[in-house]
Amino acid sequence: MSVGPDTDRYTSPNPVYWSLLSALKYEPEKVNFLLHYLTTFEQEYVFMNRTVKEILWGYQDPALHMAKRLAPDWFYTDIAGYFINKNATNDGVYTIFTGEDDVTKLGHIDQYNGSKYLNYWTTKWANMVNGTDATINPPFATKSRVAYAFASDVCRSIEGVFAEEVTDSHGFTLWRYTAPDSYVANATINPDNKGFCTPNCLDRGLFNMSTCQTIDFFHIPAAISLPHFYLGAKKYQEAVKGMRPSKEEHQTIIDAEPTIGWVLRAAKRLQINLYMQPIEGFDMTSRITPVFLPVFWLNESAVIDEKNAQMLQNMLFTPLKVVHVVEIVLISGGAALLAVTVVYIIYRRQKRKAEAAKVKELEEPTSSVDETSSLLANGTS
The residue-averaged pLDDT of 193-218 equals 83
pLDDT tens profile 308-320: 888 888 877 777 6
Domain ends where: 89, 119, 142?
Answer: 89
% of the chain surpassing 90 pLDDT = 39
> What percentage of the chain has pLDDT greater than the value 70?
86
State which of 24, 59, 89 marks the end of a domain.
89
Binned at pLDDT 50, 70 and 90, residue 243 comes out as very high
Cβ contact 178:163 at 8 Å: yes
Domain count, the chain: 2
Q: What pLDDT shows up at residue 380?
A: 47
pLDDT band at 354 (very low <50, low <70, confident <90, very high): confident
- Whether residues 41 and 127 share a domain: the answer is no
Amino acid at 170: H
pLDDT > 60? residue 369: no
Cα dihedral value 135, 138, 141, 147, nearest 10:
-60
Confidence of residue 347 (pLDDT cuts 50, 70, 90): confident
In a domain, 79, yes or no: yes
Judge whether residue 286 has pLDDT over 80: yes
Assigned domain for 123 exists: yes
How confident is residue 375, by pLDDT bands cut at 50, 70 and 90? Answer: very low
**pLDDT tens string 50-102:** 999 999 999 998 888 888 888 788 788 888 888 887 776 788 899 999 998 99
Decide if 138 contacts 107 (C-beta within 8 A).
yes
What pLDDT is attached to residue 66? 85
Same domain as 168, residue 277: yes
Within a domain: 212: yes
Residues 128, 216 within the same domain: yes
Q: What is the pLDDT of residue 30?
A: 56
Residue 376 lies in a domain: no
Per-residue pLDDT of 133-154, as tens digits, reads 988 889 988 999 999 999 988 8
85 & 186 share domain: no
Q: According to the model, what pLDDT value does residue 110 have?
A: 95
Does 105 lie in the same domain as 85? no
Residue 376 has pLDDT above 50, yes or no: no
Q: In terms of domains, do 124 and 148 share one?
A: yes
In this prediction, residue 237 has a pLDDT band, given cuts at 50, 70 and 90, of very high
Residues spanned by the domain of 97: 91-304
Task: Read off the pLDDT of each residue in 225-235 and give the average, rounded to a whole number.
Answer: 95
Is beta strand 9-13 parallel, antiparallel or unpaired with respect to 263-276?
A: unpaired
Mean pLDDT over 351-369 rounds to 66
Mean pLDDT for all residues in the chain: 84
pLDDT above 90 for 274:
yes
| 342 belongs to a structural domain | no
Residue 140 lies in a domain: yes
3-state secondary structure the chain: CCCCCCCCEEEEECHHHHHHHHHCCCCCHHHHHHHHHHHHHCCCCCEEEEEHHHHHHCEECHHHHHHHHHCCCCCCCCEECCCCCCCCCCCCCEEECCCCCCHHHCCCEEEECCECECCCCCCHHHHECCCECCCECCCCCCCCCCEEEEEHHHCEEEEEEEEEEEECCCCCEEEEEECCHHHHCCCCCCHHHHHHCCCCCCCCCCEECCCCCEECCEECCEEEECHHHCCCCHHHHHHCCCCCCCHHHHCCEEEECCCCCEEEEEEEEEEEEEEECCCCCCHHHCCCCCEEEEEEEEEEEEECCHHHHHHHHHHHHHHHHHHHHHHHHHHHHHHHHHHHHHHHHHHHHHHHHHHHHHHHHHHCCCHHHHHHHHHHHHHHC
Average pLDDT of the residues in 327-334: 85
Of 68, 89, 110, which closes a domain? 89
Work out the burial of residue 237: count CB atoms within 10 Å of its CB; fewer than 13 is exposed, 13-18 middle, 19 or more buried: middle
Structure confidence by residue, pLDDT tens digits, 177-202: 999 988 889 888 999 889 998 878 89
- In this prediction, residue 72 carries a pLDDT of 83
Residue 28: is its pLDDT beyond 70? no
Count of residues for the chain?
381
Whole-number pLDDT of residue 223:
92
Residue 381 confidence (pLDDT) above 50: no
Lowest mean pLDDT among 143-147, 249-253, 270-274, 347-351: 347-351
